[in-house]
Structure 1
């Protein structure tokens, strides 16, 4: 498909600027996009807005993906109509957002996100426009409701490959930023000055990495150069927003390559500081465990299987945990309470950087807790663990640790066999464990004496803990 696109379209010569007021126009014979590939609801929104006298186009990722022969996950519309005007045209529309006001037009389960053309922020009159736009002292945009023309909208988009507008009525593509050139050359390039654009919104650094991993593109050298230095700006991004970005980074099916890019550009440590420290202290084990977890995640996504963020986050954070557990044990704390205390401390620190919801932090702690319980198999403990709702996740996590080279004395194999056997065979496995402990000189549990404890004079239990 790309051959068809690039054979018939002459790439313009680049002269430093990556956006221009007059777009390159690709007619229907110059690109591979066909109306049949596009959501009929998206076409309906564009057509109705145009019939009402507004400009309207499909924009951004859906146009880019169609050119790359990738099925878009959603379709976005850009229009000259304000959110209120869009809302007036569609009874099934809802205005959302404060930082960026958008309209969601609902068609059953499908949502067509519709945004008004926006302009760059005015310089020097922030107070005058404070109800529309604002930045903080580092240049980060806090609100963005300054509306503009189609040309303005193209200039303020982040990457050239996302500044492509498709009109399904005329079947033309408008390219304002040489995005087709960069698609051809597999480049992620920021529009405008990279340092300024990253300062406006530091999350653009994560988006550059995400697109590079998803599309297997390179980040253009000028766009890549400031990232390492500006990575600490992510510390000023709300923790809840960073959590959403982390899910996008690692649950798109390209998590291993994403991780490599994050490490290379100094972004991983901004997202997972404790894990980045573990990567320095114990690089081989930490890197292998994280890679194995991410590779498994990628495989599950490609196979259409479900993925739980809790397991993935448990793996990303685990390498920072054992040293904390040992530290607490050295102070005299028993293993399981030490694990629980260290887990609480690590997760609390992480949530300051990335706001992991409680629905994920609880399973993370349970998976980790299971790592201390799985070695304890005597008596009925093994069967009790097997019935635990978190057993499967805990067992899978144990195998993950072993795959990274952690020595557990064959614990993973033991649990694998135990799950496959009958009750009587399981009893034999437990008996074998006891025999091994005896042979190794392990201290045996003292049997409780049959003698009843002496009670108080009145037999009222005054010497028992309950009576104190």
Structure 2
């Protein structure tokens, strides 16, 4: 009993732990931050915890982003109080999490996340509290509830720019890892040995890319060096977690730049293996289609419009689909069944890597299916397609394919005109289509109007809203 009690109070400077140093303290005259720039609720949480006798600071992204003139979406607090002690101080607090236990303090729709100072993970024979901390054979952290002091907490954070603590009382910044230096020099740098940190959690490679794209920073050379070699480790990450990470990568307003970095560091293939193979086979078409879809997504987010993951995943996976469908057609399967079977197989394979929920896989398949149906316009089919709930998404996707250089015999222009025409004009377009020789170019009606009508732009939220 005495031995166990002694261990619980031993110094945090364990064997294999990095040497800790005192932080650089920057006073109000040495930085631009003021407490008034932060959420009033977050400041209130910090002050109440301090008044209760605990250490408490604003930390991480909210400090980093405010320094860079970016309005933070979330405000995080780091404290010496345990999650249970935080809950005791705030009736509106809930303790959540197993892998990483913390407290959420609710103020209406705003949630202030409060995390207890964590310690570096002991290794080897030092790792005795298996219910608190555990790793797998490769060194990846499975649970992370080893509490420590503020110095410990700073050292175990992933990047230097995320290890800045803001004291709202004295308006001071506490910098344990030269994060201010890297903010000024626009660098994403891991704290500690990069390879070891990636082995602990391979998702840190995706986070490095995400921060570099979001902030328009460079990944520091030592932090970048192991990424291409360790990229295959992402295959061991649970598919549900990778789905969440992919949404963060592509739905935050800088998806096109993120994609370029993922390809540069060989991180795209572990996430989208079939698409990466298609990108290698036909880099011009596949690359242009994916980049255009991501640029459209970034534009919509910049305009404050909604975006659904369904259209995005449909575009990311599409380059791998036509070749598979053609293989099935070569075996004698009709075009639409071939497309449907190829789509089913591709999505099934992809979901083993990234767990795309059914609420998105169904509209993905409907968007793809519409690509086979849109050319079939004779009789009443055109009007029936126009009334289909997925028509708009399918039409937008058709324009995306054409913009990437795919030849569709003027199909996008035809459908653009058809939507803008009255009933009489539509009947004429159908008659012209029926009389058109097989080797003729775009439909006659489309030819007549092409110069005077403007295409409708892609609308990447169509699968969600329609």
Aligned to 1:285: 285
CA–CA distance in 1 between the matches of 2:123 and 2:401? 53
| Offset at residue 436 of structure 1 (A) | 1.2
| Offset at residue 124 of structure 1 (A) | 1.9
CA–CA distance in 1 between the matches of 2:317 and 2:397? 12
Q: Report the structure number with the largest CA radius of gyration.
A: 1
The question of 1:365 aligning with 2:365 is answered yes
Aligned to 2:386: 386
Q: Deviation per CA, 1:402-425: give whole Å up to 9, x if none.
A: 000000000000000000000111
Q: Deviation per CA, 1:311-367: give whole Å up to 9, x if none.
A: 011000000000010011111111111111110000000000000011100000000
| Offset at residue 150 of structure 1 (A) | 0.3
Aligned to 1:57: 57
Aligned to 2:194: 194
Q: Deviation per CA, 1:429-460: give whole Å up to 9, x if none.
A: 001111115898xxxxxxxxxxxxxxxxxxxx
| Offset at residue 18 of structure 1 (A) | 10
| Offset at residue 125 of structure 1 (A) | 3.3
| Offset at residue 127 of structure 1 (A) | 5.7
Distance 1:19 1:313, change over 3 A: farther
Flag structure 1 segments of 5+ consecutive residues without an equivalent: 1-16, 441-468
Q: Are 1:19 and 1:177, in contact at CA under 8 Å, matched by a contact in 2?
A: no
Q: Deviation per CA, 1:234-269: give whole Å up to 9, x if none.
A: 011000000000010011111111101000100000
Task: Give runs of aligned pairs for residues 244-259 of structure 1, distance below 5 A.
Answer: 244-259=244-259
Deviates more, 1:125-134 or 1:337-346: 125-134
CA–CA distance in 2 between the matches of 1:418 and 1:231? 47
Query: Secondary structure of the equivalent of 1:240?
Result: helix
Aligned to 1:71: 71
Aligned to 1:164: 164
Q: Are 1:20 and 1:177, in contact at CA under 8 Å, matched by a contact in 2?
A: no
Aligned to 2:331: 331
Query: Secondary structure of the equivalent of 1:258?
Result: helix
Q: Are 2:121 and 2:127, in contact at CA under 8 Å, matched by a contact in 1?
A: no
Q: Are 1:19 and 1:191, in contact at CA under 8 Å, matched by a contact in 2?
A: no
Q: Deviation per CA, 1:275-328: give whole Å up to 9, x if none.
A: 000011111100000011011111111111111110011000000000010011
Task: Give runs of aligned pairs for residues 51-200 of structure 1, distance below 5 A.
Answer: 51-125=51-125, 128-200=128-200
Q: Are 2:134 and 2:144, in contact at CA under 8 Å, matched by a contact in 1?
A: yes
CA–CA distance in 2 between the matches of 1:400 and 1:242? 26
What is the root-mean-square deviation in Å for CA atoms of aligned residues?
1.4
CA–CA distance in 1 between the matches of 2:191 and 2:439? 71
Distance 1:405 1:262, change over 3 A: same
Query: Secondary structure of the equivalent of 1:125?
Result: helix
Q: Are 2:127 and 2:133, in contact at CA under 8 Å, matched by a contact in 1?
A: no
Q: Deviation per CA, 1:166-200: give whole Å up to 9, x if none.
A: 01111111000000000111100000000000000
Aligned to 1:455: none
Q: Compute the TM-score of the two structures, normalised by the length of structure 1.
A: 0.89
CA–CA distance in 2 between the matches of 1:439 and 1:28? 74
Query: Secondary structure of the equivalent of 1:326?
Result: helix
Aligned to 1:343: 343
CA–CA distance in 2 between the matches of 1:87 and 1:74? 20
Q: Are 1:126 and 1:133, in contact at CA under 8 Å, matched by a contact in 2?
A: no
Aligned to 2:47: 47
Aligned to 1:3: none
Flag structure 2 segments of 5+ consecutive residues without an equivalent: 1-16, 441-466
Once superposed, which parts of structure 1, at least 4 consecutive aligned residues long, lie more than 6 Å away?
A: none
Q: How many residues align?
A: 424
Q: Compute the TM-score of the two structures, normalised by the length of structure 2.
A: 0.89
